[in-house]
Amino acid sequence: MEQTPFVRDFRPIRRRGIERLARAGWGAGRSVWAADIGGRDLAVDSVDVTHEPASAAVAGVMGLDEAVSLCVRRRRFVLDGKPVLLSTSYLPADLVANSPITEPDTGPGGVYARLADLGHAPARFREELRSRMPTQPEAERLRLPPGAPVIHLARTAFDPEGRVVELNEMVLDSAAYVLEYDFEA
């Protein structure tokens, strides 16, 4: 009996790292994801917003004391019916208190537009990425086949004074993404 090879018909997401974070987009009320999906059907199928103490690792990146309370936003993104990304944002709770950032729907332009409303618009970003094997919960939430790696992308957003206003840790299905960085020499 001859087996038909499995052909994956999912079109990868072309994530344009620099274009997607430009203030012109989120400042005009567009989602940072709009630059990636090209009119395809992107959904956030789960949003969890909590307040938690900073872990040692997160506090270290953000330059905060571990006792500091953070607003933590966990989301799962699904494109064309396929989970492709897990995203966890850490924001100083004192900075975002009583703002739409603490709600599941942050409004047009998302978190960055709301930070701008609070006088702390991101002025600079740093992204670090690495490939690794997923944890069991990550593999389950992304519905990954055994042995499939993920891309772990950590983005830090700084306001004009250099304060870290967000740390966003993302776990991407590596088969679902092409990461593109286009910049002047």
Domain spanning 13-180: which CATH class is it, in words? alpha beta
Chain segment 39-78, per-residue pLDDT in tens = 667 788 999 999 999 999 999 999 998 889 999 999 998 9
Q: What pLDDT, on the 0 to 100 scale, is given for residue 185?
A: 72
Mean pLDDT score across all residues of the chain: 85
The three-state (H, E, C) secondary structure of the chain, written as one string: CCCCCCCCCCCCEEEECCHHHCHHHHCCCCCCCHHHHCCCCEEEEEEEEEEEECCHHHHHHHCCCCCCEEEEEEEEEEECCEEEEEEEEEEEHHHHCCCHHHCCCCCCCHHHHHHHHCCCCCCEEEEEEEEECCCHHHHHHHCCCCCCCEEEEEEEEECCCCCEEEEEEEEEEHHHEEEECCCCC
Chain segment 83-102, per-residue pLDDT in tens = 999 999 999 999 999 999 99
pLDDT level of residue 32 (50, 70, 90 thresholds): low
Residue ranges per domain, the chain? 13-180
